[in-house]
Amino acid sequence: MIWEGVWALCKVLAVFGCMLTGMRLKFGIGPSILAGGFILALLFGMGPSAWLKAAASSAITWDCLSLAMIVVLILMLSHVLERTGQSIRLMEALAGFLPSRRLRLIFFPVLIGLLPMPGGAAFSAPMVRQTGEPLGLTDPELALVNYWFRHVWELAWPLYPGIIMTAGLLGLPLSTVVAHTGLAAVFFAFLGWMFILRPLGPRLKALEELPAAGPSAGAGSAPVQPPRDIRLALRLGLPLIIAIAGSFGLETAIESSFPGVSFELGIMGALTAAIICVFVQNRADRSFLWQSLMQKELRQTLFLVGAIFAFNAVMEQAGVVREMVKLGGEAALVCAAVFVPALVGMVAGVTMAFVGASFPLMLGLLDQLGLQHQATAWAVLALVSGFAGVMASPLHICFVMCCQYFSVEMTRFWRVVLPPCALMLMFGFGWFFVLRGF
């Protein structure tokens, strides 16, 4: 049976390599993923008609449609903010409150990270570009800042679906889960400082120490800070406030008043209201709306969303994960808590995918082995492992959007992301042994 698991693993890795090759040869990200799903289906015994049925059915599920709608609204809001110049004006208004260039650089990705919406990196990308380009940062550096700091909250923010599902499967309060995963989020932010901000430090510090321009600026004089106008900053930032606070408020209202209704509706409502706010503030006409709807990136992203869901449908219906866990033996629990979530996270690029695929198996093994009292420690290990896989995944929608927006080659970007992701995985092991000792 162990050889069946090894063979299944080899087939998955081969498919993963095919997809990366397709992306490298510029066949397109969406087409490469769709083709990878087709190859995966054939390798695991699904015929072309079964693959087509699985792909078509996945495209009309609520999860796929809601994700597509949220991504459309995010791209529209980002596009309108950029085209009207409001994002630039907002950055200028906030500059006085953010004297440190490094703080200013990561502020928007961290802020958007509080909003648990897929594809949020597209939202903060224009603001990172507008902040980083005058500082002389390259496109790969900007993409890395935007991608990494967009996700600093994901292991500790109680509104993320992966955390919510973990708490439900463990039967624990959200506060308990967050208390155990909080240090992992801190370590993730530390890795961002060590691998991204620290190397940029000398350049940014030199810029901060430059004397102010203009006739009144004497030699060695301190740089003049932009004025602080809190009312202007609040007015220009109102669309972001509506998007973030509105999402929180509507999600809470929906969950408390309409338990059976999808919380994604709250995010959609808040994003729609934010778009309307930008239009009203800038007196934009219908041409802005039409231009937003006709973006090439929007069509490409919609196709990408469909391709990812088709791939996940093949993984589920072909029993890919079930075959991989036949590695069995004493390694079954470690496989279920480390290898399966990391691999599923890397292949699917979605947190919910590895939680749904690995946690039932892991918890079942814990029950069989009489280790239920260690369930929280094993769950944290699985969360960190899967999250490291998601962050290292070229199929992660934020990874894709950052590469597309900043015109960065995916394989080159991937190689830069891998080392901190590997360290994140090592931290997961260390923290697991600490938690298991309690």
- Alpha-carbon distance of 325 to 9, in angstroms, equals 9
- Alpha-carbon distance of 45 to 40, in angstroms, equals 9
- Alpha-carbon distance of 116 to 399, in angstroms, equals 16
* Residue 411: CB atoms within 10 Å: 13
Q: Where are the domains of the chain?
A: 2-201+228-436
**22 touches 32 (CB < 8 A):** yes
Helix (H) or strand (E) holding 409: none
- Measured in whole angstroms, how far is the alpha carbon of residue 341 from the centre of its chain? 16
Q: How far is CA 374 from CA 163, 184, 239, 356, 435, in A?
A: 18, 18, 44, 19, 8
* Residue 304: CB atoms within 10 Å: 26
The identity of residue 397, as a single letter, is I
Record the tokens describing residue 355, joined without a space.
């939680």
Torsion of CA 125, 198, 138, 131, to 10 degrees: 40
**391 touches 414 (CB < 8 A):** no
- Cα-trace Rg, the chain: 23
**351 touches 387 (CB < 8 A):** yes
The identity of residue 398, as a single letter, is C
pTM of this prediction?
A: 0.67
Q: What is the pLDDT along the chain (438 residues), one digit of tens a residue?
A: 667 767 877 887 788 778 777 866 777 777 887 888 899 899 988 889 999 998 899 888 887 888 788 778 877 887 787 778 787 787 778 767 776 667 778 888 888 787 666 677 877 888 788 888 877 888 999 999 999 999 999 998 876 777 877 887 787 777 788 899 999 999 999 999 999 888 887 766 655 554 443 333 444 444 455 667 788 888 988 988 888 788 778 877 877 777 777 767 887 888 899 889 988 888 877 777 777 777 777 777 788 778 878 887 887 788 776 676 666 545 667 877 888 788 878 877 777 777 766 777 788 778 777 778 888 999 999 999 999 999 998 888 889 888 888 988 888 899 999 999 999 999 999 999 999 876
Residue 82 neighbours by CB under 8 Å, 6+ apart: 126
Give the number of residues written for the chain.
Answer: 438
Q: What are phi and psi of 159, to 5 degrees?
A: -95, -5
- Alpha-carbon distance of 96 to 91, in angstroms, equals 9
What value, to the nearest 5°, has the Cα angle with vertex 114 and ends 196 and 193? 15
- Alpha-carbon distance of 145 to 147, in angstroms, equals 6
